[in-house]
A and B are shown apart, each in its own frame.
Chain A
């Protein structure tokens, strides 16, 4: 038994009680926080010098200059040089693929068949995967993740917050898109497709089947048909990974033929056919800036995001899929390299915040620091893009989820 004697013991007891209550509150309770930043990039207007963000009930309560934004007395105050909205990685595979790169933690591609749109990302997402923690510590709070490129149709994607003990806590959009690959990455060994023409033939056949099914009164209810119906009805887009110019053109041709929504992914040759992409109206989730050149990506340019954006195409940046090392890229670093290569600091930051949110259709909840939006915040001790700056804290839904200096 604990003997309570004297002042010291009383102090210890109080401290212990405080600690216990602290632990109980931390993961679940939506705290009342005030985040002060020498620069606050709200991404909903000009950055605020000496700004304050008030957070209550998991949402942004107020944002403005310190001079006109009173911090209520019971709010926990956090300070940083630079405050941004929680970052968004517009395309990754983490959570499905893990950092160990062993068969048991690589779940983003089933090699059994070339057309599997029924595979749900939510059935594979591991919210406690180490890589989710890694990116969270750099300020990334939302990820569009799912089945990887590498099969004609590899499966579905989802959108998650980089927190939560399980997929249900993490998920904000269970089925976001269907992952399609065109080009050399879509070829399978020992079965079709084995050429670009075959890839397109197979994809068109499936889309025609889905169209016909949609026209029937008695609709097929198998899993493939159910999900493809949503594509035909324009409810969800195809996420078409196409790096070479000819594959990008093919993606646009298919979208037009079937009047479906698509999002171009990768698009290493995008800068060579920016006008064609612009005319289509479809957005591009541009490859990681530092992605390796070669193969379908022979013409990959660090200025691709800049050139596509300048052409008026909606873009976002991504960390992408990596087979080996780094097992994930950090989208913050990829945006930094884009900023170092011509994209303005604001546009580079937008490509991993508000522009990514708009592209993913989640901008009513995340992507900027605005009243009523989810309180997802990243804090830095300097220019977030600089190699030598650190992420000093991450907030998701009003909860401080990382205070590691990273």
Chain B
């Protein structure tokens, strides 16, 4: 029954397209498909058209129409495009050094859409990224959810729009030592002060919101516009997710406490010591975005960072995904995160979910990306082999039905391997200060 419906469905779609003269459908055939939602399909067929997935299934169930353009991917593996919940590609900078909390600044106004770091991220199979300002502030500004589309003329060409046509993004917060500055004027000197300063601003935002709602339709009673307060009100109203940089177990719990107190939507970022408080994270139903670092330390609050965070969060029943924090780790090797998580005990399924669907959920894009399902964006990567093997390369990256990276094209290949022309735009790590501030520019 289901099989028949699928066949009919595909036929209907194909017919419709022929009639309306839309883009020719493309069918990826003979690959092993890992749809993330649903079981892997050994000899799969994936059909995309007009930027969307129109059919997915087994070679025996999905029929190909006569006008379909087929791409034979025998021996290859197809997955959804990877979603990076924490990146600094495009050399963005958010808050300046004048204050510890700056919700008004936007990555929208800062990112270079033509940066080669974006090309390199495509080469790593990343199709969607949350690009953020750094962690040298309690709040360093508004983040931006981007599709890494090809040939952008301006930043607008990379934006993801919500139902109301508004570009999507979150806001970056941080606790722990990065935002603490001894003798730093308005900056905090302790962890308690850090939390107090954040609490103070959210209380102000609550009052600002109350004034607006009291004013009702009487515009004369509206408070003067305040860009910082407007952003924080969006946070209070659940329209803007807080991406909370946090490493040590007690800092993680503090972030959860603030989230509960003000009712904001949170994604815990980095979570170096998640394995110590996995049950608390699960109980709070907070998602975690994990960074995978090859050795402990680098700073005191990450002395116990461990590959086992993924396994610990999975065991606790918490939603967990991974991020690059590019250039702290390199977008080109993002799939390594899943491999190393499995090394440390995470299940294969959850590790791959943590590269895709879990991250789509964290960015509230679960209806559009993160899995290969009919109706979703045609964000697809083609791999030379198993996604968890070191020997596997990303061979193709497709975003919304358009191929944006092809390893067999020498121009693209250099973005994957490095070499002359891969990173000469000077952006390689110009403004990385998220995991900390020592790699590049100031805080």
Given contacts A292-B327, A298-B428, A302-B418, contact A327 B295 (CB under 8 A): yes
- Whether B428 lies near A292 (C-beta < 8 A) is yes
Q: Which of A134, A271, A292, A302 contacts B295 (CB under 8 A)?
A: A134
- Whether A330 lies near B295 (C-beta < 8 A) is yes
Does A328 interact with chain B (Cβ within 8 Å)? yes
Please, how many residues of chain B have a CB less than 8 angstroms from a CB on the other chain?
Answer: 40
User: Ordered nearest first, which 6 A-B pairs have the shortest CB separation?
Assistant: A294-B428, A387-B339, A99-B297, A325-B298, A293-B423, A326-B294
* Count of chain A to chain B residue pairs whose CB atoms are closer than 8 Å in the complex: 126
Given contacts A99-B298, A298-B428, A337-B333, contact A325 B435 (CB under 8 A): yes
13 A-B residue pairs with Cβ-Cβ distance under 8 Å, sorted by A, are A100-B300, A130-B297, A292-B429, A293-B422, A299-B423, A301-B422, A303-B418, A323-B439, A324-B439, A329-B294, A333-B294, A385-B390, A390-B343
Given contacts A101-B299, A295-B428, A325-B293, contact A387 B340 (CB under 8 A): yes
Does B438 interact with chain A (Cβ within 8 Å)? yes
Does B436 interact with chain A (Cβ within 8 Å)? yes
Does B165 interact with chain A (Cβ within 8 Å)? no
Q: Which residues, 35 to 53 on A, are CB-close (under 8 Å) to B?
A: none
Does A131 interact with chain B (Cβ within 8 Å)? yes
- Whether A299 lies near B296 (C-beta < 8 A) is no
- Whether A341 lies near B438 (C-beta < 8 A) is no
Q: Which of B295, B343, B423, B439 contacts A387 (CB under 8 A)?
A: B343
- Whether B419 lies near A99 (C-beta < 8 A) is no
Does A336 interact with chain B (Cβ within 8 Å)? yes
Q: In whole angstroms, how far apart are the Cα atoms of A99 and B340 in the complex?
A: 20
Q: How does the 8 Å CB contact mask read for B319-362 relative to A, with 1 for contact and 0 for none?
A: 00000000110100100100110110000000000000000000
Q: In whole angstroms, how far apart are the Cα atoms of A302 and B422 in the complex?
A: 11
- Whether B390 lies near A325 (C-beta < 8 A) is no
Does A285 interact with chain B (Cβ within 8 Å)? no
Given contacts A324-B439, A326-B298, A329-B295, contact A294 B390 (CB under 8 A): no
Q: Which of A301, A323, A340, A388 contacts B418 (CB under 8 A)?
A: A301
Q: Which residues, 289 to 312 on B, are CB-close (under 8 Å) to A?
A: 293-300, 302-303
Q: In whole angstroms, how far apart are the Cα atoms of A388 and B419 in the complex?
A: 28
Q: How does the 8 Å CB contact mask read for A66-110 relative to B, with 1 for contact and 0 for none?
A: 000000000000000000000000000000001111100000000
Interchain nearest-CB distance for B18 vs A (Å): 43
Does A231 interact with chain B (Cβ within 8 Å)? no
Query: Which residue of chain A lies nearest to B120 when distances are taken between CB atoms in the complex?
Result: A293
Given contacts A298-B428, A299-B422, A324-B436, contact A330 B343 (CB under 8 A): no
Interchain nearest-CB distance for A243 vs B (Å): 13
Residues of A within 8 A of B296 (CB): 99, 130, 134, 327
Q: In whole angstroms, how far apart are the Cα atoms of A328 and B294 in the complex?
A: 7
